[in-house]
Structure 1
Amino acid sequence: MQKEYTTSFEAIESYDHLDETEKKLFDSAQKFRAIAYAPYSNFTVGCAILLENGEIISGSNQENAAYPSGLCAERTTIFWIGANFPDVKIKKLFVIGAPREALTSVPIPPCGACRQSILEYEAKQSDPIEIYFASLDGAIYKTKSIRDLLPFSFDSSYL
C-alpha cells in the first residue's frame, strides 16, 4: 500500500499576529527557556503546551554531564503531561530555542526524537496537535500536525 505524503506550514508575521492564547504559549515557552538547565551546550529551549481543558503546561530542556542522558524541552513537557493528564488531549505545542546569550534567533523546530514522541501522542489521541516554533524576536512557523514536520513517519500502523 502506497501512502500519500504532503506537508504544509504557515509563517506568522509576528507575535502581534497571535491570538491571546497563542501569546500566552509564546510567553510561557520564553519564560521556561530562560530557566532551562543547559550548562554543557548552552542551547536553551522552552516548550508550552495547551491542553483541551485550557491548561498550559510548560517545560525546558534538561542536560546531563553523561550525554545523552538529558532531555529536550518538548519531551520533558509532553511526557509529564502523559503521566499526569493521560486522558486529556493536547491541542497546541509551542517551542522556542536558541543559544543562551542570543538576542535574536531563527525559529527552531523540534528535533527528530521530539517529532517522533509528539507523533505518538498525536496518534494516541487521534487528533492533530498544532506545532508552533518561534525565534526569540517573534518570527513564528505553524503546522497543523506533527506529520507536516515528519511526513515519512513511523507509527503503529506499521506494526
Structure 2
Amino acid sequence: MYRENKNVVVPGVTPEQFKELREKALEARNLSYSPYSNFRVGCCLLTEDGTFVNGANVENASYGGAICAERTTIVKLITSLNNPSKRRQWRCLAISGDSMDTCITPCGICRQFIREFAPLSLPIVMFNGDGTKCLMKTLEELLPLSFGPDDLIH
C-alpha cells in the first residue's frame, strides 16, 4: 500500500517539485495550532504556475471551530488570488501527519472541500511523519461518485 516516496511519479510534477512539495508539507506541520489533540497536520498545494501554498490545522477550544490543514491551505490560496480563473489550476496536493507508520488521508469534509475547486484527476499525496513513505490517490479515488459544482443546475 505505502511506497517509498522516491518511487512515486506524479503526472505534471517534476522530481524537484515533488521533493519541494514533500519538504513543504512536512514543514507545514510546524505551523499547526493543535494544543488539544496534539495531532499536527501539514499541507502543501502546488499550483499550475509552480506556486507552493502551505497550511496547517488550527484547533479551537470549541472543537467544531477547528479547521483542517487542507481547508486552511485552500482558503489561503482562494483568498489571495487576484485572478479568480486560477482558483482551479492545481497540480498536486500533499499532506503529512506525525505518524511514522501511516500516511494520513484527508477527512470527509476536506475531500468535499477539495472537490469544490479541484478536478477529479488531482493527485493527492499523503506522507508519513518523516516523508519516507507515501500514498498517492486521485481525488476521484478518495471521493468516488462525488457531488460537485458541475452537478448543480444553472
Unmatched segments (≥5 aa) in structure 2: 9-14
Instruction: Give 1:146 shift.
Output: 0.8
Partner of 2:22: 26
Residues 29, 40 of structure 2: 8 Å contact kept: yes
Match status 1:95 vs 2:95: yes
Partner of 2:136: 142
Provide TM-score, normalisation by structure 1: 0.81
1:43-64 Cα offsets, whole Å, 9 max, x none, are 0000000011111010000001
Match status 1:106 vs 2:102: yes
**Separation in 2, partners of 1:131, 1:96:** 11
Partner of 1:5: none
**Separation in 1, partners of 2:16, 2:136:** 16
Residues 43, 73 of structure 2: 8 Å contact kept: yes
**Separation in 2, partners of 1:128, 1:57:** 19
Matched to 1:82, the amino acid is I
Unmatched segments (≥5 aa) in structure 1: 1-10
Matched to 1:87, the amino acid is S
Matched to 1:107, the amino acid is C
**Separation in 2, partners of 1:122, 1:80:** 15
Structure 1, 27-36 or 109-118: larger mean CA deviation? 27-36
Partner of 2:47: 51
Provide TM-score, normalisation by structure 2: 0.83
The SS at the match of 1:42 is: coil
Partner of 2:11: none
**Separation in 1, partners of 2:135, 2:46:** 17
Instruction: Give 1:73 shift.
Output: 0.3
The match for 2:35 among 11, 32, 39 is 39
The match for 1:133 among 126, 133, 136 is 126
Query: Which structure has the higher relative contact order (CA within 8 Å, separation 6+)?
Result: 1
Percentage of identical aligned residues: 35
Partner of 2:3: 13
**Separation in 2, partners of 1:128, 1:97:** 23
Instruction: Give 1:153 shift.
Output: 1.4
